[in-house]
Amino acid sequence: MNYAELTAALTAAANIIAAQLTNTQTNQLGAIFTLLGELLQTIAVIRPDDSTSPLQDSNPADQGDAASSQGQGAAQQGDDPAATGGNAAAQSGGVSPPTATT
């Protein structure tokens, strides 16, 4: 399908959909499709490689393990303020946060 056929098909689809909706509904549906398109473009930009299948190596549990190991690496390097027990401000010469007393 070339670009002329694609634009003609999309125009026909838009006209068929719009004929069945009110102006408010048409605006809402247009906003939804715009957001969908932008999100898909964002995903395409941040996806690391086009050579793998979209569902290949997409186990969320594996991704969580990778994220936690990355966080551990940052903690070992001292880049993570939470890894210092919350005393990052005190170590850098700032004021440490107040502690709760009962």
Q: Is the pLDDT of residue 96 over 50?
A: yes
- What number is the average pLDDT over the span 74-84? 49
- What number is the average pLDDT over the span 71-83? 49
pLDDT tens per residue across span 52-74? 666 666 665 655 555 455 555 44
Q: What is the pTM of this model?
A: 0.46
Higher pLDDT, 91 or 47: 47
CB–CB of 64/52 below 8 Å? no
Distance between CA 14 and CA 4 in Å, rounded? 15
- What number is the average pLDDT over the span 32-55? 86
